[in-house]
Amino acid sequence: MDSNEFSRREFLKRVLALSAAAALPTILTKNTLSAARPKPRIVGPNERVNLAVCGIGNRGGEILREFAKTGEANIVALCDVDMGAPHTEQSLKQFPNVPRFQDFRQMFDKMGDQIDAVSVGVPDFSHFPICMLAMSLGKHVYTEKPMARTFYEVELMMKAAKKYKVVNQMGNQGHSEGNYFQFKAWKDAGIIKDVTAITAHMNAPRRWHGWDTNIKSFPPGQPVPQTLDWNTWLMTARFHDYNKDYVNGQWRCWYDFGMGALGDWGAHILDTAHQFLELGLPYEIDPVRIDGHNDFFFPQASTLVFKFGARGNMPPVDVTWYEGQKNIPPVPEGYGVSELDPNIPAPSTGQIQPAKLNPGKIIYSKELTFKGGSHGSLLSIIPEEKAREMASQLPEVPLSSSNHYKNFLLACKGQEQARSPFDVAGPLCQVFNLGVLAQRLNAKLLFDPKKKVITNNERANKLLKDLPPREGWEEFYKL
């Protein structure tokens, strides 16, 4: 069946065909749905995890190769809506005999009983439907950051992960490297304590920098490449005619498809602080600077202030996010030079930055100040004189037992705990979802972290869910 003809009835039939249910009802109650779902397979300690890979070009292809290098994965299926396009060729040559699909629904329909886990390396807005269907079928899920484009979708993904009891991991790979173990050790030893402010910055050129901010409409439609299944590429998003500035990384520019610089880099910079300082969700998000605001794509520069309340004996924290080439954050006295760190990959634009613009953070506590980079980069105490004074008090930092990809696969085998599961990564991503709403509306937002509602802006509160999904894609919100 062509994906354009993929009706709700057929969707339910295909999903239920993978279960032990004898009947195929067209309407699923909660009880029927629960009974129909298979449990995750227990992967033996001497087995490899049967991994299906959704997204095999660009970043998705890099993830595929990283999983293959672990020796813990058996690649059983490849799925990409642009199968055969130039950016998929390397993956196809590396795995020439692995079954190929353009529609993830057809992949699960035909091969569901052969899949233990799924890697999702596709545009931000299309993480949600693939992950939801995979989890509902008892498949472990690894998905790139951010988890999803909207606050509500992240919420549903967290609930589904608990409901279906699958292993889940978000792909902020530095969360299995040095900074993860260092931050935890320093926090446990009382070196990092009483944090009151964090500056986070990503000032590299972005794909939309230099675009016309007086834009009045989306770009005109263009012929769809022969290799591309455009309808499936759009998934739950509202319909757009194809344009080259939507695909192959360009989706990151648009509010309809991506999460901008904050969604791209925030999870690599703020992940450890968010987890180990137990920040949770903010009560206020203030866009104190927005350059080039428009209704379609991200600003040329933004400064966002996130206010987090006190947690137990920890004081309130203000996190200030700086992005944009001419929006460099102030640095404290004794900061020194931010050396280029091999742990920090070049931005997807391929442009290497001057050292002082290295993505990273400055953490201010009542007694100490720390500086750090992105991904797995280690923190250092500043100024240097203070670092030397503190050297003898610093605890030993354990080495990582596995990188992020192997950690996920070992978690699927019950041998490790996933380090960035959805209950850890979800609230972090929801912070970014709220930040993007402040950018999009250029408005201060007041948020109730307990009720999870925006209290001062009705439109913003509705945008926690955004627009309803396209017809035929509603079922993914009910799984």
- pLDDT value of residue 124: 97
Helices (H), 222-279: 230-234, 260-269, 271-276
Q: Report helix, strand and coil shares of the chain as percent, to nearest 5.
A: 35, 15, 45
pLDDT tens, 381-434?
A: 999 999 999 999 999 999 999 999 999 999 999 999 999 999 999 999 999 999
Is the pLDDT reported for residue 21 higher than 60?
A: no
> In angstroms, rounded to a whole number, what is the distance separating the alpha carbons of residues 375 and 1?
42
Across 346-371, average pLDDT: 79
- pLDDT value of residue 36: 54
pLDDT tens, 152-186?
A: 999 999 999 999 999 999 999 999 999 999 999 99
* 8 A C-beta contact, residue 363 and residue 200: no
Q: Average pLDDT, whole number, for the chain? A: 91
Percent of the chain residues topping a pLDDT of 90 = 85
Range of lowest pLDDT (81-95, 273-287, 343-357, 381-395)? 343-357
Range of lowest pLDDT (38-52, 131-145, 152-166)? 38-52
**Reduced to 3 states, what is the DSSP secondary structure of residue 366?**
coil
- pLDDT value of residue 71: 97
- pLDDT value of residue 28: 30
Give the pLDDT band of residue 32 (cuts 50, 70, 90): very low
* 8 A C-beta contact, residue 332 and residue 198: no
- pLDDT value of residue 358: 84
Distance of CA 421 to the CA centre of its chain: 11
- pLDDT value of residue 462: 98
Token output for 180: 């993860």
What does 275-312 look like in DSSP terms, one character per residue?
Answer: HHTT----SEEEEEEEES--SSB--SEEEEEEEE--BT
pLDDT tens, 450-471?
A: 999 999 999 999 999 998 999 9
Residue (of 428, 393, 450) closest to 319 by Cα position: 428
pLDDT tens, 190-207?
A: 999 999 999 999 999 999
> In angstroms, rounded to a whole number, what is the distance separating the alpha carbons of residues 164 and 34?
9
| Beta strands in 309-408, from DSSP E residues, in sequence order | 317-323, 360-365, 369-372, 380-382
Burial 49-82 (b: 16+ CB within 10 A, else e): bbbbbbbbbbbbbbbbbbbbebebbebbbbbbbb
pLDDT tens, 227-237?
A: 999 999 999 99
**Backbone torsions φ then ψ of 6, nearest 5 degrees:** -80, 90
- pLDDT value of residue 6: 42
> In angstroms, rounded to a whole number, what is the distance separating the alpha carbons of residues 195 and 242?
47
Range with the largest mean pLDDT of 16-25, 27-36, 249-258: 249-258
Is the pLDDT reported for residue 9 higher than 60?
A: no
- pLDDT value of residue 38: 79
Give the pLDDT band of residue 339 (cuts 50, 70, 90): low
β-strand pairing of 49-54 with 117-120: parallel
**Backbone torsions φ then ψ of 167, nearest 5 degrees:** -70, 140
Across 14-27, average pLDDT: 35
- pLDDT value of residue 12: 47
Sorted by where each starts, the structural domains of the chain and their CATH numbers stand as 3-174 (3.40.50.720), 179-211+250-398+428-463 (3.30.360)
> In angstroms, rounded to a whole number, what is the distance separating the alpha carbons of residues 298 and 300?
7
> In angstroms, rounded to a whole number, what is the distance separating the alpha carbons of residues 388 and 394?
10
| Beta strands in 86-158, from DSSP E residues, in sequence order | 100-101, 117-120, 140-143
Q: Would the pTM of this model clear 0.85, i.e. be above it?
A: yes
